[in-house]
Structure 1
Amino acid sequence: MRHAIDHKSPIPLHAQAETLLRQMIAEEDYQNGKTFPNEIELAKVLAISRSTLRQAINKLVFEGLLVRKKRTGTKVAKSVVSSKSNNWLSFSQEMKLRGIEVKNFEMQVSWVLPDEDVVDFFEIKPDRKVLKMEKLRGTPDAPFVYFVSYFHPRVGLTGEEDFSTPLYEMLENEHSVIATLSKEEISAKAADSFIAGKLQIPLHNPVLFRKRFVFDHGERPIEYNLGYYKADSFVYTVESSR
């Protein structure tokens, strides 16, 4: 087994084990249904305790990336995307972290007059145009999410940027705008004809609807984001600690 834990590293063992498991999840054999080594065997190979290994496995089971069943062992979950509420990233960063290959089916950038919700969030005049980005994304097989993002004029976007790169990395590297706070609202909606057409689902099918409000370090608004997810292709998990 080529995977290994660095026992001299300052990174906690459970965190290293989690990273290693994520790498294994992305491997073709495990994607095709190969069962993970059992906990006793894997813990022995990595020279860590079963409780440390189990901590990492439990986290990935909770995220929906692994499925653990008695007598059949631990396997990679079927291609349902999972997002965590306490560790927000750009969509590209999230999917890369989870080893999920992403395809852009559509992307469009335009300058528009904002609607009332965007005007209120950005606290701008209604006749001031903002940059709007639309993306239809998914796995290579089919789209599962349609995004609409509006950006505050203060950010300085021109529309000529490479929006196929991770969004928040691009904002930081090219515009010195650092996204530090995200607030989200999650609800269920019935797909209208436009969303149903984009996601290739029947009219009125349920979709997970996520609003994301993104701020910089001064808590100034940066992005107003709407996401429409196919209900059978996305799991949103919440992790709380006390």
Structure 2
Amino acid sequence: MKSNSLDKKELDPLHIQAETYIRQLIEKEEYKAGKLLPTEVELAKMLNISRNTLRQAINKLVYEGLLLRKRGHGTRVVRKGIVGGIKNWLSFSQEMKMLGIEVKNFELHIRYTDAPTEISNFFMLEEKENTKCLLMERVRGNTSYPFVYFVSYFNPDIPLSSDENFRRPLYEILEKDFGVIVKTSKEEVYARLAGDLVAQKLEIKATDPILVRKRFVYDDKGRPIEYNIGYYRADSFTYTIEAER
């Protein structure tokens, strides 16, 4: 096996150099495709460092969600997924662009419908009789498989219609076509089993876990704009929280 000994005269500690090397290694297509990384013994020998030093580097990448380590099986690259969080509120298109993921739309359905009670309360429609909301359902993913099923209801005060070109980013349509500037998103994230409908949409089993991400979206005037529910494959979505003291 080819040696890639680290430079012990470098200013960066050896575990940082090892981390950099592994980051470069896991970008190779063979590892992205599921090939196991070399064992700790092999990697330590290749880099001419101790296993404890190597383990520091690997633990950091496991903690970041880039590597998955299973006892008795080895270490492999975690399939690249969506990263969301309270300091990272972006539209789906923006999130995917930042991650370098090419988006594929698997399904798009648009219709007008009566709003369920929870949505009606969110848009304060109680006093508006016979008011229907635009409902948009989308199944989206990368070029290989779908990983999110979105259900969005929109404030009926915004004259969105099924004639819009929804291949454009949604918040771009709202701002450029309707003068609606989206500013705030309040979110709820929780886990559950997929169930039959979501499983069919995401090509998984009904008993597989999913993450549900509810977004309550407001414009710059505090008006409720969108009630969005995203059902994510649990193997393709990581939610991060960053707190400062």
TM-score normalised by the chain length of structure 1: 0.69
The 5 A counterparts of 1:138-177 are: 138-177=141-180
Identity rate, percent: 49
Would the alpha carbon gap of residues 61 and 165 (structure 1) be closer, same or farther in structure 2, given more than 3 Å must change? farther
Please name the residue that 1:86 is paired with.
Answer: 87
- Structure 2 residue 97 is the aligned partner of structure 1 residue 119: no
The 5 A counterparts of 1:5-20 are: none
Please name the residue that 2:138 is paired with.
Answer: 135
The 5 A counterparts of 1:39-118 are: 64=65, 78-118=79-119
Ranges in structure 1 where 5+ consecutive residues have no aligned partner: 1-24, 35-59, 70-74
Secondary structure of 2:27's match?
helix
Secondary structure of 2:207's match?
coil
Please name the residue that 1:207 is paired with.
Answer: 210
Please name the residue that 1:230 is paired with.
Answer: 233
Secondary structure of 2:121's match?
helix
Structure whose alpha-carbon radius of gyration is higher: 2
Displacement, 1:175? 0.6
Contact 2:106/2:139 (<8 A) preserved: yes
Would the alpha carbon gap of residues 81 and 87 (structure 1) be closer, same or farther in structure 2, given more than 3 Å must change? closer
Q: Deviations over 1:140-176 (max 9, x none)?
A: 1110100000000112212211111111111101110
Would the alpha carbon gap of residues 202 and 61 (structure 1) be closer, same or farther in structure 2, given more than 3 Å must change? closer
Structural RMSD (CA): 2.8
TM-score normalised by the chain length of structure 2: 0.69
Instruction: Select which of 29, 33, 40 maps to 1:32.
Output: 29
What one-letter code is carried by the residue in structure 1 that aligns with 2:29?
Answer: N
Displacement, 1:235? 0.8
Please name the residue that 1:5 is paired with.
Answer: none
Secondary structure of 2:87's match?
coil
Contact 1:209/1:229 (<8 A) preserved: yes
Q: Could you list the runs of 4 or more consecutive aligned residues of structure 1 that deviate by over 4 angstroms after TM superposition?
A: 60-64
Contact 1:115/1:126 (<8 A) preserved: no
Secondary structure of 1:144's match?
strand
Q: How many residues align?
A: 187
What one-letter code is carried by the residue in structure 2 that aligns with 1:203?
Answer: A
Q: Deviations over 1:178-209 (max 9, x none)?
A: 00000001111111211111111111221101
Take 1:168 and 1:143, find their aligned partners in 2: how far apart are those partners? 22
Would the alpha carbon gap of residues 132 and 145 (structure 1) be closer, same or farther in structure 2, given more than 3 Å must change? same
Take 2:85 and 2:101, find their aligned partners in 1: how far apart are those partners? 15
Secondary structure of 1:177's match?
coil
Secondary structure of 1:207's match?
strand
